Amino acid sequence: MGIPVVPRVESLARSGTQEIPKEYVRTKEELTSIADVFAEEKNDEGPQVPMIDIKDIESEDISVRERCRDVLNKAAMEWGVMHLVNHGISSDLIRRVKSAGQAFFDLPVEEKEKYANDQASGNVQGYGSKLANNASGQLEWEDYFFHCIFPEEKRDMTIWPKTPEDYIPSTNEYAKQLRALASKILAVLSLGLGLEPGRLEKEVGGLEELILQRKINYYPKCPQPELALGVEAHTDISALTFILHNMVPGLQLFYEGKWITAKCVPNSIIMHVGDTIEILSNGKYKSILHRGLVNKEKVRISWAVFCEPPKEKIVLKPLPETVSESEPARFPPRTFAEHIKHKLFRKSEETNEDNNLPKGSS
Ligand SMILES: O=C(O)CCC(=O)C(=O)O
Ligand SMILES: [Fe+2]
């Protein structure tokens, strides 16, 4: 496949360098808040990411079911992120998914390179590392593997890893179960807005059009973790995002003006409400700003599944039922593709301001 245009962070980490290249060094503002992630994870003071038990989400006992749903909706309104426990996906399947992803990343870089994506020609599926997309040329301390996993017709099986053997079967099964879980959550979020249970599901494309994209994030050990970020601060554009990780801390959430480190909760799935649901709910459900720290001692891996509406077919805007005179629409109508473009544009403007370049020049 030729020489990769982007250096793999894994190769950089393996080179034994004790100083990270300057493209990976974050801005002055960011550096003031980057601290040791293991110490941060132990910090029990202050607000914590809510832990939501959804065992009773479909209980036949109405009051039990309502209580469970209320707690979930409240967390989605206050935080927009939570540790889901008793989500119904077996720990054995989760173990298989993680071990398949780990085994793929355990392959030599040359092997993984056979699956390299080609971002320049718009092909983002496959093995990749971030390309600098702004004037400052800033990079993230991670490599990834990205591909569509649901629905079946929209997958490109030619780029799915053939090694290890269980990658395809475990990913297929996980995609199916996660899709069913997404429906249950969307139903509860719909009811929380006073809508019919199927409404949000329909608004994001339903079984045929809602696309599940998986990004396995691979964060190598970093010799200067106090200077880098695995993933820079962002909100997810998805409707919902579901995340597994290898029990190494890293995820931080920006809540009430502070970065809060997510604890590692066994057998849980972290769920984010993304921008899509924030827009449809007119901001009643939150899409929280988050980022990923790296560390010197342990490789971190996370498996994020983004449930996304189709790019062009649906115009996202606050649902009429969520808008009133006292709560006017907070978001203009945009397709998902336009929303992505708008975010990139805003980001390049911010970068230009940092660099004192004229607006819109990059
Ligand atoms: O690695 C994580 O825990 C979060 C990754 C993330 O935010 C993303 O891929 O959008
Ligand atoms: Fe994210």
The CATH number that applies at residue 171 is: 2.60.120.330
- Per-residue confidence of the chain (362 residues) as pLDDT tens digits? 444 456 899 999 999 999 999 999 999 999 999 999 999 999 999 999 999 999 999 999 999 999 999 999 999 999 999 999 999 999 999 999 999 999 999 999 999 999 999 988 889 999 999 887 666 789 999 999 999 999 999 999 999 999 999 999 999 999 999 999 999 999 999 999 999 999 999 999 999 999 999 999 999 999 999 999 999 999 999 999 999 999 999 999 999 999 999 999 999 999 999 999 999 999 999 999 999 999 999 999 999 999 999 999 999 999 999 999 999 999 999 999 999 999 988 887 776 654 443 333 32
Position 142 in a domain? yes
Query: Is 130 among the residues known to form the active site?
Result: no
22 within a domain of the structure (yes/no): yes
Q: Record the pTM.
A: 0.95
* Contacts of residue 289, Cβ cutoff 8 Å, sequence gap at least 6: 233, 234, 235, 253, 254
User: Among 236, 245, 272, 286, which one carries the catalytic annotation?
Assistant: 236
State the distance between the two ends of the chain, measured CA to CA, in whole angstroms: 30
Enter the tokens of residue 111.
């092997």
- How many domains does the chain contain in total? 1
144 found inside a domain: yes
Answer whether residue 360 is part of any domain.
Answer: no
- Atom index in ligand 1 nearest the CA of residue 236 equals 10
- Give residue 68's domain range: 9-349
Residues pairing with 84 in the sheet:
52, 269
Q: Is residue 129 part of a domain?
A: yes
Point out the ligand 1 atom lying closest to the alpha carbon of residue 272. Answer: 7
Cβ of 80 closer than 6 Å to ligand 1, yes or no, is no
- Where residue 202 falls (left for φ over 0; alpha for ψ -120 to 50; beta otherwise) is alpha
Who contacts 117 (Cβ-Cβ below 8 Å, separation ≥6)?
Answer: 123, 124, 125, 126, 127, 128, 146, 159
Establish if 98 belongs to a structural domain: yes
How many whole angstroms separate alpha carbon 214 and alpha carbon 262? 21
Whether 195 lines ligand 1, by a CB cut-off of 6 Å, is: no
The ligand that comes nearest to the alpha carbon of residue 231 is 1
Domain membership of residue 362 (yes or no) is: no
Rg (CA), the chain: 20
Residue 354 resides in a domain: no
* Residue 66 CA, ligand 1 centroid: distance in Å: 31
Q: Are strands 251-255 and 290-292 parallel, antiparallel or unpaired?
A: antiparallel
Q: From the CA of 218, how far away is ligand 2's center (Å)?
A: 14
Measure 312 CA to ligand 1 centroid, in angstroms: 25
